[in-house]
A and B are shown apart, each in its own frame.
Chain A
């Protein structure tokens, strides 16, 4: 069994995910981690620490080999690594919601300190694509920014939603690193520099990403899922009721391939094979894991896997030796195998017995009430499922409807639907009361997003008095646009907003696409091109028109820019379109965006004004304090009192000012997010190269503060006319 080679207990708490190992002096690996009260501690067990006496760093009063770094703000991400290759040692990077600090621990100086308006939720350090110098890439509010060692902003792009995790990985195998971005809209996006080359939709917020080797990478979601992707294909995933705090790739069994090491919120650490997800090693801490890193912490030439818990417990593991033959757990493999095989045998025997008993039951008398109690049902019982659109009534909002019915007098006791992303949890249960049991059930489904979802149904079928039920398991796919009902084209006024594009596909193929992605009534008959179909959204009643001309020109009318994007992306993947230029017009949305942009300017100027005020006030404080102290020395109590009264008032003002600044900042963040999202949305209306062009051009337009240009780009897709 694999045992830790060292165990340390630091008396500092460690914030989850905020752990990094770096050689800050070029030779000794030290552990840096964020702790309480906006501090970062650096554990240096190797050298009796030189006593720093600068303002930022001070000796921890609790432990001799730990120094503390004051950030004075909640740390939101932390990493260490080579930022300036000429320096020969690692830099420590600390991100907060407003700033990024690159810190030279050895010389106790800042490399740079940059204000980042979008915040820094995640950070990764390394080289990206063809950019020669290493970058510290931070992900914030829908935005990605990369800084070199001088703090120059060399990389900037936007993504769909708030970024939660970042990783660098050679995704396409060209020897250069791509950036993996996991965001709040459940998407993992792959950026080849600033071009999106792949997008994978997951089922929850992606909290961690880590490169494994080659194009393989691990991921973790906020619902307790961890797994491994190879390029865009998921190899495996498992779900736990605990949350994966930190994932890391490390070859623990010395077989030359990295395993996925996961640190869990319940204090468990496990190592899983990258191919199968099988657990090859596990250990338990007494509190939640804060981070999993690797480093040669004992300076003996062997790299250890280092796991830290939030309570400051640190354990290091050396990879298993050859004699262990990958057997890292204490039970012998053979024993386990035998147990597993016996269990399998027992299950098969049980199944066999079930069939035997069934045969016996068949021979006995015809079906009667008593049989129903034991759960005997006619063998030809079948389950029908149908998906349709229900327009709703006064008591119930419109929804997509799943209808399940049995083919005879048996009843459905309960239906369990396991599906990801459309229910609050992972499952939805329909359990009618004993009086309302029947042989058919209608289940309303309202997916919050337009994504295709697999519904795994488990239906309990039996009789009213049964205590045992048959479980019918089947899977139905909910089409992407199930929340849109087909209506007659003249039933509403056509939306003013539209997108317009041309594809080289026959109209029949478009009809097939319609059939696969919408819930069309069975008797729908769509004639040849040109034709138009009209849908009404069940969520807000908005209209969606899709018109096709003989030339293959398609116009999609909708006021919902996201929906238009979804339609285009769905069509593009269905018809395998690589590049698609689109003309778009969304007057209402553009108007809103214009207002947002104006607001952003306003908030910026308010922000500057407030900062100036604050600076003024702090000068005032200084002078008041001096005056008050002078008065005290002069024993002029009255003046002193007055000065302190003024100071008190000023303090109050400052506090108020701070509140205003806070509000202003949140507003600003919200609006910046809206702007970033607008760019992303404009991109989603196009496919392939035009998409990247739009995003790049939009960004340039925003940089040069040319609002009219921005809208032009969003409309026609290019900057030049």
Chain B
């Protein structure tokens, strides 16, 4: 069956965080449900749809920004009590809007995630996890990295209470009481957790997770160990997962998986006989989807997917057909409804416009007086700056609640700005005078009307570090802009990992000196991405990293007064050495830096690069041939006369070209890294080989692995 869903917009509230919209349980099967949503203005709104009009059930007064909204109630009864997390407070409302709970948790950080199960309340702030029962503190855990989401396996189906934390360092932490039972490594930083089928699946232990790099997976959390069931890789490089839900929208009796992503994608996966997910439907909305739930809102009897978006739109993707097969009178009525809606909106607009004009005048007048001040209207910018493992580039996503007018990108380090197909904005690079003003990149993005989301791709070079700034100007009056800063770290292409290969030949860099644990941690934070800013608990800590481009690794172990960095890539060590000594000098700390260079490691790294380089060279060669071969094909009419290799190229032409386009300048980057390796190898020996670089490039041009290794050895 083909799934065909039609989009209808219900209403718009303020900016929403993720997981802040829920549907209240229906009174009977397929009856219309009420929607409850909380926004950044602190307003909780509950509404239902009647004849295409949104009818408010209740609406609270503005307050602190609402970070989460969950439904709860006595176990095994309809979950229709509304709980919200705002600041450090939890509030509860009945479905009529009467507040019955106000619980000040006294957490020092504001609450980021919440899960409710009967009288148990699971909360997490940035690093802290708390479990309350009947508002009494039960358990506590301090996480090593940021907690993105919290959930508890269904207590009504399992004999134990098993909370699970989704942590930024790519780990799900399974707790028991206040202690970690075990950790589960997942392929990306997990952003959202949900119970499979809404109840934990057959075992009651099945847990869904979504990551910020767009991957989805199912894990069974048993008492002793995790069992990975399936995983959906993000092959189409869509956005990160923000929300998931289970609902039988296809109507085959099996609950489907509904997914909302931060690039506006809504997806429906259904399950085949082997219980593997299959994509059944996808639709792109223009802004990130913050909450998703299946249910029935617009018209009873018609299932739909209700989503809320970043700027507060509540939208339904409904199975109700747009063009009803009914008499002509019906059609007219629907039209009439629409017209009414439009005209009421119009009159509202007129009224508003008049008011705005008045205020504008007042504002203008105030600019005459010398005492008056002019504040900048604040607007929220939803941003994400992440490293893509696949092509070792950063993607910067900016989202604003209203349309963006333009974005100025400024960087004080040399970086490449790549084109993203999805963008319609007109980019213009400005010349920059780097010497006097520290500008290496100045670019403006002029957005088309109604663009609320902008995606940029950035390629950084390891060893060159600094700040990237984005000045975002939306289309609101009075015109203002907000600046956002993003750090390009010295080892920008490294990513946290939890396991490394200890058998590789390693180079070691050892720091000793009079520095505190916090200080050495701050240096690590300065050099490497994905390290929590807070110094972790304990005296000594070890982090593992992987270079996403070359797959080389880095191990960093440090404590008060000592830091040890081990990597099989000599360039990594060299960058660390340069940056650390510079940082220490800046802070006037006396550092003893010693290093141990393993000659074998260079050869090892070259061997790691070899398959990548060979692949790229071959790809480039093949792509070069495509046009000529195609011409021959046109001329001769068939390809039988060609050698199989060429025939193969022709068959794969589209695929090859796509592959080639996906990785622009990949070869140049590899060359650059080999050159760095060459220079760094001899830098540690105290010789400057910059003059020999042209020779190296010559060898690379006619690449042969042995010749390259020989060149490295001989010099």
A positions within 8 Å CB-CB of B: 12-13, 35-37, 39, 60-62, 68, 224, 239-241, 266, 331-332, 334-335, 337-339, 341-359, 361-362, 366-367, 371, 374-381, 413-414, 416, 418, 423-429, 431-433, 436, 458, 460, 462, 466-473
Taking a contact as CB atoms under 8 Å apart, the answer to whether B437 and A414 are in contact is: no
Q: Which of B432, B481, B636 lies at the interface centre, i.e. has the most chain A CB atoms within 10 A of its CB?
A: B481
Counting chain B residues whose Cβ lies within 8 A of the other chain, the interface size class is 35 or more
Minimum CB–CB distance from A225 to chain B (whole Å) comes to 10
> B98 contacts the other chain (Cβ, under 8 Å)?
no
Q: Which of A345, A356, A358 lies at the interface centre, i.e. has the most chain B CB atoms within 10 A of its CB?
A: A358
Minimum CB–CB distance from B659 to chain A (whole Å) comes to 16
- Give CA–CA (A367, B634) in the complex, Å: 75
Taking a contact as CB atoms under 8 Å apart, the answer to whether B377 and A352 are in contact is: no
Taking a contact as CB atoms under 8 Å apart, the answer to whether B426 and A429 are in contact is: no
Contact with A along B3-19 (1 / 0, CB 8 A): 00001110110000000
Minimum CB–CB distance from B631 to chain A (whole Å) comes to 5
- Give CA–CA (A42, B424) in the complex, Å: 35
Is chain B's interface secondary structure helix, strand, loop, or mixed overall?
Answer: mixed
> B94 contacts the other chain (Cβ, under 8 Å)?
no
Contact with A along B492-509 (1 / 0, CB 8 A): 000000000000000000
Q: Which residue of A has the minimal Cβ distance to B437? A: A433
- Give CA–CA (A503, B419) in the complex, Å: 54
Taking a contact as CB atoms under 8 Å apart, the answer to whether B430 and A378 are in contact is: no
Pairs of residues from A and B, 5 with the lowest C-beta to C-beta distance, nearest first: A61-B637, A425-B428, A354-B377, A375-B376, A379-B372
Q: A13-B630, A433-B437, A468-B482 are in contact. Are A341 and B444 (CB under 8 A)?
A: no
Taking a contact as CB atoms under 8 Å apart, the answer to whether A473 and B376 are in contact is: no
Residues of B within 8 A of A377 (CB): 373-374
Taking a contact as CB atoms under 8 Å apart, the answer to whether A381 and B374 are in contact is: yes
Taking a contact as CB atoms under 8 Å apart, the answer to whether B345 and A358 are in contact is: no
Contact with A along B467-505 (1 / 0, CB 8 A): 000010101111111110000000000000000000000
- Give CA–CA (A212, B360) in the complex, Å: 42
> B442 contacts the other chain (Cβ, under 8 Å)?
yes
Taking a contact as CB atoms under 8 Å apart, the answer to whether B442 and A426 are in contact is: no
Taking a contact as CB atoms under 8 Å apart, the answer to whether A414 and B410 are in contact is: yes
> In chain B, residues 418-477, which have Cβ atoms closer than 8 Å to a Cβ of chain A?
419, 421, 423-432, 436-439, 442-444, 446, 448, 450, 471, 473, 475-477
- Give CA–CA (A466, B376) in the complex, Å: 10
Q: A239-B426, A418-B446 are in contact. Are A352 and B367 (CB under 8 A)?
A: no
Residues of B within 8 A of A433 (CB): 412, 436-439
Minimum CB–CB distance from A427 to chain B (whole Å) comes to 4
> B338 contacts the other chain (Cβ, under 8 Å)?
yes
Taking a contact as CB atoms under 8 Å apart, the answer to whether A427 and B374 are in contact is: no
Minimum CB–CB distance from B53 to chain A (whole Å) comes to 12
Taking a contact as CB atoms under 8 Å apart, the answer to whether A350 and B374 are in contact is: no
Contact with A along B554-569 (1 / 0, CB 8 A): 0000000000000000
User: Can you list 16 A-B pairs with a CB-CB distance of less than 8 A?
Assistant: A35-B634, A36-B634, A240-B426, A240-B448, A241-B426, A331-B7, A335-B7, A348-B353, A350-B402, A351-B476, A376-B373, A379-B369, A379-B374, A468-B482, A470-B478, A471-B479
> B322 contacts the other chain (Cβ, under 8 Å)?
yes
> B697 contacts the other chain (Cβ, under 8 Å)?
no
Q: Which of B342, B374, B476 lies at the interface centre, i.e. has the most chain A CB atoms within 10 A of its CB?
A: B374
> B635 contacts the other chain (Cβ, under 8 Å)?
yes
Residues of B within 8 A of A342 (CB): 9, 11-12, 345
Q: Which of B12, B430, B448 lies at the interface centre, i.e. has the most chain A CB atoms within 10 A of its CB?
A: B430
Taking a contact as CB atoms under 8 Å apart, the answer to whether B428 and A380 are in contact is: no
Partner of A362, one of B348, B373, B431, B442: B373
> B366 contacts the other chain (Cβ, under 8 Å)?
yes
Minimum CB–CB distance from A626 to chain B (whole Å) comes to 28
Taking a contact as CB atoms under 8 Å apart, the answer to whether A352 and B355 are in contact is: yes
Minimum CB–CB distance from A262 to chain B (whole Å) comes to 14
Minimum CB–CB distance from A266 to chain B (whole Å) comes to 7
Residues of A within 8 A of B406 (CB): 416, 458
Residues of B within 8 A of A351 (CB): 356, 359-360, 377, 476-478
> In chain B, residues 356-408, which have Cβ atoms closer than 8 Å to a Cβ of chain A?
356, 359-360, 362-363, 366-379, 401-403, 406, 408
- Give CA–CA (A358, B477) in the complex, Å: 12
Residues of A within 8 A of B589 (CB): none
Q: Which residue of A has the minimal Cβ distance to B636? A: A61
> B349 contacts the other chain (Cβ, under 8 Å)?
yes
> B126 contacts the other chain (Cβ, under 8 Å)?
no
Taking a contact as CB atoms under 8 Å apart, the answer to whether B12 and A354 are in contact is: no
Minimum CB–CB distance from A444 to chain B (whole Å) comes to 10
Taking a contact as CB atoms under 8 Å apart, the answer to whether A362 and B438 are in contact is: no
B positions within 8 Å CB-CB of A: 7-9, 11-12, 311, 322, 335, 338-339, 341-342, 345-346, 348-349, 352-353, 355-356, 359-360, 362-363, 366-379, 401-403, 406, 408, 410, 412, 419, 421, 423-432, 436-439, 442-444, 446, 448, 450, 471, 473, 475-483, 627, 630-631, 633-638
Q: A12-B634, A37-B635, A347-B476 are in contact. Are A378 and B374 (CB under 8 A)?
A: yes
Residues of A within 8 A of B376 (CB): 374-376, 462, 468-470
Minimum CB–CB distance from B158 to chain A (whole Å) comes to 45
Taking a contact as CB atoms under 8 Å apart, the answer to whether A379 and B378 are in contact is: no
- Give CA–CA (A467, B481) in the complex, Å: 8
Q: Which residue of B has the minimal Cβ distance to A225? A: B426
Residues of B within 8 A of A472 (CB): 479
Residues of B within 8 A of A224 (CB): 426
Residues of A within 8 A of B346 (CB): 341
Q: Which of B8, B355, B425, B483 lies at the interface centre, i.e. has the most chain A CB atoms within 10 A of its CB?
A: B483
Taking a contact as CB atoms under 8 Å apart, the answer to whether B410 and A431 are in contact is: yes
Residues of B within 8 A of A358 (CB): 363, 366, 374-375, 377
Q: Which residue of A has the minimal Cβ distance to B355? A: A352
Taking a contact as CB atoms under 8 Å apart, the answer to whether A337 and B342 are in contact is: yes
Q: A379-B374, A426-B426, A432-B437 are in contact. Are A335 and B634 (CB under 8 A)?
A: no
- Give CA–CA (A352, B354) in the complex, Å: 11
Taking a contact as CB atoms under 8 Å apart, the answer to whether A460 and B442 are in contact is: no
Taking a contact as CB atoms under 8 Å apart, the answer to whether A355 and B360 are in contact is: yes
Taking a contact as CB atoms under 8 Å apart, the answer to whether B338 and A334 are in contact is: yes
Taking a contact as CB atoms under 8 Å apart, the answer to whether B349 and A469 are in contact is: no
Q: A381-B374, A429-B410 are in contact. Are A341 and B352 (CB under 8 A)?
A: no
Q: A380-B367, A380-B369, A467-B482 are in contact. Are A39 and B634 (CB under 8 A)?
A: yes
Q: Which residue of A has the minimal Cβ distance to B360? A: A355
- Give CA–CA (A344, B402) in the complex, Å: 10
- Give CA–CA (A359, B377) in the complex, Å: 11
- Give CA–CA (A374, B378) in the complex, Å: 9
Taking a contact as CB atoms under 8 Å apart, the answer to whether A348 and B631 are in contact is: no
Residues of B within 8 A of A436 (CB): 436-437
Residues of A within 8 A of B475 (CB): 347
Residues of A within 8 A of B446 (CB): 239, 418, 426-427
Residues of B within 8 A of A471 (CB): 473, 479-481
- Give CA–CA (A353, B419) in the complex, Å: 36
Residues of A within 8 A of B408 (CB): 414, 416, 429, 431
Taking a contact as CB atoms under 8 Å apart, the answer to whether A423 and B356 are in contact is: no
Minimum CB–CB distance from A539 to chain B (whole Å) comes to 17
Residues of B within 8 A of A357 (CB): 375, 377-378
- Give CA–CA (A417, B355) in the complex, Å: 32
